[in-house]
Amino acid sequence: MKTIKYIVPALMLGLAMTACHDDDNYGVLDGVDMINRSQSIAEGATVRPSSTVALTLSYNNLVAIADRSITVNGQAVTASVNPDNGMELVIPLTLTAYTEYTVEVPEGAVCIKDNPEVFAPAKTVKFNTNVGLDRSQVAASLINPNATAEAKKLYTYLVENYGKTQLSGAMGEVAWGTRFSDFIAQQAGKYPAVVGFDYIHLANSPSDWIDYGDITPVQQVWDAGSIPAFTWHWNTPVSFGTPIDETVSTAETVMLPDWSASLQLTDETSMAVLSKVSAGSVITVTVKDVAEGAQGSFKDSGWSGLVAADGTDYDYFVINGDFSITLDAVTADKVKEGGLIIGGHDYTLVSVKVYSDGAPSDELDAKGDFNAANALVAGTPENKVLDADIDKVAGYLKLLQDAGIPVIWRPFHEAAGDYTWGAWFWWGMSGVDTTKQLWDYLYDKLTNEYGINNLIWVWTVQTTDEGKLASIDKLQAAYPGNDKVDIVCADLYIDDAMTDQTDTFDLINILVDKKKVIALGEVGNMVDPVSAYNNGALWSWFMQWYEMGDNADTPQFDRWNNAEIWREMVNSPYVVSRGDFSLK
């Protein structure tokens, strides 16, 4: 039983006293009860096993250990006193992941060093190590019940390997090949385990420089022992024309031989029609009485000849009858801005008509103003583009499926952008709910309509809000749900190499309730695999984005990493590359 040695006056005196030892600078209150001032692990806290090696209890007096009855989960441990200050009890811990812990310091175990009859009260601290990945909780099967045997085998490997080692990865290159991943292999000494491809040039395929129908690059990667991973920078028309079939003018105008006549379509009535034009709109001039050598002319409101982006000059040109101009983006902007002046000589202008079928522009961009919400409405121009592109990409994916090649499939990546600063791809610009609907739409089309079953569906989680780590509620609002996603990943472009990104991993792990494999869909600089492994936050794979030089034709290290860092990565015991595993 604790002994109360001093009466109240003595207690008050003790509170006013400094330490009884001249060299005591720790605020010791001699002669009073032992008080636990603080503890290094809060009650109910969650801690990481790798970074928590002891529980420290701080007292108001120099302490001594009276007996050895201190336990951790019922097992006796040998505690010690911090020699630097003499006022801290240090209880060693050897922790394992996902375990509840109870540390008990019974009354009588700790006393005042200079007054061993005064004991500290009993102390119990409960905490847990329920943090980091937990392979046992990860979904055992893909969301597609009809997934191919190859896709199932790949997914099973990714789950079984999760937390053990990380797969190295690099993009093949910007086009349909492997020049960048070949370069990485030459620099690092080992070939990446995951090789990235991108359907970014879908609109150009097939052509003389790219043909996704020739699956040779992917087949070679798969046959050599690497895993193909596909991104889709989904380029769509930056604008859609308004359907037009209107007459702008019926004012007959005689274009005199001396070039002095013209028809100026810059008034309000004319602009009501011309303001609707877009790339692809056709302006047709009907004429009569065309003399030999007659010329036509299209000028902007400043009397300069219209010049298309390809250099075609419409200032003056020979005509033999009716003539027209098909506007491109440059000439359309000029006409929309200020109208049109039609001139020339030796003919009579009868009428001017504008026609457009509302076709999308030829200019494509993943960061354009393509309306994602409209794309989900049947019959809209955007929906027609969406369905046509899905039909096309499904044909290419089917070739891979028929060849027995599974695909890590990552569409609609980086959808949310930054939660405050906004999205940078069209599939995120209409809001997170629209993006989730797009995800459902694409999954349904590819899986149920086209029978594409060789895909492992990967959702890219955006983790920043105003450049800082976002709150979990932002991630939850943007997430399709565990029942619609096979794997999740993050795209991290960190200024410094080999950093610890455990906080980001933990945030995503909370989002998926530990039930999904987490990877790095894209990286600039490498993330440190050692700290990731030690913290139970080892990403399933990483994928360095390609760097191909100014002309996009020379693989190189520019902004991200270097040969030394790559060699360090592939030689890490926590990283595997081609040849370190087999899926055949």
Any idea what DSSP says for residue 483?
G
Which backbone phi and psi does 146 adopt, to 5 degrees?
A: -105, 20
Active site residue 414: yes
Backbone CA torsion sign across 226, 198, 544, 425: negative
SS3 content of the chain, % helix, strand, coil (to 5): 25, 25, 50
Buried b (16+ CB within 10 A) or exposed e, 263-284: bbbeeeebbebbebbbbbbebb
Out of 522, 547, 564, 568, the active site residue is 522
Q: Are 18 and 30 in contact, with CB atoms under 8 Å apart?
A: no
Distances in Å between the alpha carbon of 281 and those of 192, 311, 317, 337, 561?
48, 18, 20, 15, 48
Give burial (CB, 10 Å; 0-12/13-18/19+) of 341.
buried
Gap between the Cα atoms of 414 and 426, Å rounded: 11
Count each helix (H run) and each strand (E run) in the chain, helices first: 13, 33
Q: Which of 414, 547, 564, 568 is catalytic?
A: 414
Strand partners, 89: 57, 81
What gap in Å lies between CA 248 and CA 325, rounded to an integer?
14
| Beta strand extents in 422-559 (DSSP E only) | 455-460, 464-465, 468-469, 487-492, 517-523
User: Is position 100 annotated as part of the catalytic site?
Assistant: no
How many other CB atoms sit within 10 Å of the CB of residue 239? Answer: 16
Residue position matching structure tokens 């369905």: 387
Strands across the sheet containing 71-72: 75-76, 71-72, 100-105, 123-128
Residue 477, SS3 per DSSP: helix
Query: Could you list the active site residues?
Result: 414, 522
